[in-house]
Amino acid sequence: MKTTDIEKAGAVEPLVSRLDRAIKRLLRAHKEETYKLERDDELEFISRMLAEPSVEKNHRVKNMLLERVNHIAKA
Q: Is residue 50 part of a domain?
A: yes
- Supply the pLDDT for residue 29: 67
Answer yes or no: is 20 within a domain.
no
Domain-located, residue 15: no
Do residues 59 and 11 touch, judged by C-beta distance below 8 A?
Answer: yes
Report in angstroms the alpha-carbon separations of 75 from 29, 32, 33, 59.
9, 13, 15, 24
| 19-28, 46-55, 65-74: least confidently modelled range | 19-28
> For residue 37, what are the domain limits?
26-75
Split into its structural domains, the chain has a count of 1
Task: Give the span between the Cα atoms of 40 and 27, in whole angstroms.
Answer: 8
pLDDT beyond 80 at 59: yes
Place 26 in a pLDDT band, splitting at 50, 70 and 90.
Answer: confident
Is 30 inside any structural domain? Answer: yes
